[in-house]
Amino acid sequence: MKIIQRFQDYEPQTPLALSIGMFDGVHIGHQTIIRQLNTIAAENRMESAILTFWPHPRTIFNPDDDLKLLNTIDEKTYLLQKNGVQHLFLKEFDAPFRNLTGEEFVHEILIRTLNVKHLIVGHDHTFGKNKSGDFALLEKMAPDLGFGVQQVQAVDYLGKHISSTQVRNALAAGNIKEANAMLGYVYSVTGTVVHGKKIGRTIGFPTANIATDALKFLPGKGAYIVEVFVLGERHKGMLSIGHNPTIGENALSVEVHILDFDRDIYGEKISVNFRDFLHEEIKFDGLESLTARLAEDEQLTRDFLF
């Protein structure tokens, strides 16, 4: 997959089948669009492409919005490549770009700059200054400018349209299986192992504290069954997201106890795949009751099949 961060670095040759959007999560709704892009590209001697934005436009229009994303830029790039996208345009949502009207965007970006010959958009996609562009505008302009256009309807799960927001809501509620079903893959978090308070080792449950990307969305506070990847190995683990209320007031932390593992991994990269929810964050009346619950969680984790 070719990654282009500046339009001036792209020399349009082969016509493109393109879709536009944030594609946060690259969930199964997004994957439906990508499959159609790839099919149209293959059948019409085009190449498939995604035009997305970094950072998220909401950070421009709502700078006080504490937006968290399902994917880091590296994760999104990997998922798009895995799904067969041939070109990825990572566009900064700068002032000249966001001030283009819908018609200007079609003429200047899609046709003149990128040589788009087929465009696929989602069911509610708008573009251009003040959302002046939509599917109706594309249908109107397409015949004269010589490009095809189609609108893909939303994919439903449990009676709801799948969206990045719905995935975030499921993760926030601890509905891991529901979130993974909408994503079409297992949600993961990657970070670096850092030093913590080392309370866990005093009660027989040492944990690796994970420093995560500041923009990465974390599931809701509580305990989870996870699949852990570290030092090239795969292990089962039980992970906690929260403030460790049993031992006092603390900053939010992400800590994982890796089963049957006893190695120094400070400074190492670690990834965790979320497989199931154990329980919400609990304030125990002491370390003894905390340890007892951890033992129960450990058994549930050992019994979980993955």
State pLDDT tens for residues 134-190: 999 999 999 999 999 999 999 999 999 999 999 999 999 999 999 999 999 999 999
- Dihedrals phi, psi of 147, to nearest 5 degrees: -130, 150
Catalytic residue from among 255, 280, 288, 296: 255
Single pTM value for the model: 0.93
- Give me the pLDDT at residue 191, please: 98
Q: Does this chain's domain 2-161 share its CATH topology with 186-303?
A: no
Q: How far is CA 29 from the centre of its chain?
A: 13
d(CA 271, CA 232) in angstroms, rounded, equals 10
- Give me the pLDDT at residue 249, please: 67
- Asked if the peptide bond before residue 15 counts as cis, ω within 30 degrees of 0, the response is no
Just give the CATH number of 2-161. Answer: 3.40.50.620
Average pLDDT for consecutive 10-residue bins of the chain (306 residues)?
Answer: 91 94 96 96 97 84 86 96 97 88 95 96 90 93 96 92 96 98 98 87 90 96 98 97 82 95 96 98 89 95 94
Give the max Cα distance, the chain: 74
- Give me the pLDDT at residue 64, please: 78
CB 176 within 8 A of CB 219: yes
* Full 3-state SS string of 125-188: CCECHHHCECHHHHHHHHHHHCCEEEEECCCEECCEECCHHHHHHHHHCCCHHHHHHHHCCCCE
- CATH superfamily of the domain spanning 186-303: Riboflavin kinase-like (2.40.30.30)
Nearest CA-CA partner of 57 in 106, 21, 31: 21
Check residue 220 and report its DSSP letter: P
Give the other-Cβ count within 10 Å of 123's Cβ: 12
Q: Which residue has the tokens 């465009």?
A: 119
- Give me the pLDDT at residue 31, please: 97
Domain ranges of the chain: 2-161, 186-303
CB 57 within 8 A of CB 93: yes
Residues 6+ apart with CB under 8 A from 79: 26, 71, 185
Which residues, listed in sequence order, are joined to residue 116 by a DSSP beta bridge?
Answer: 16
CA dihedral (31, 154, 56, 212) positive or negative: negative
Q: Is 268 a catalytic residue?
A: no
- Give me the pLDDT at residue 270, please: 98
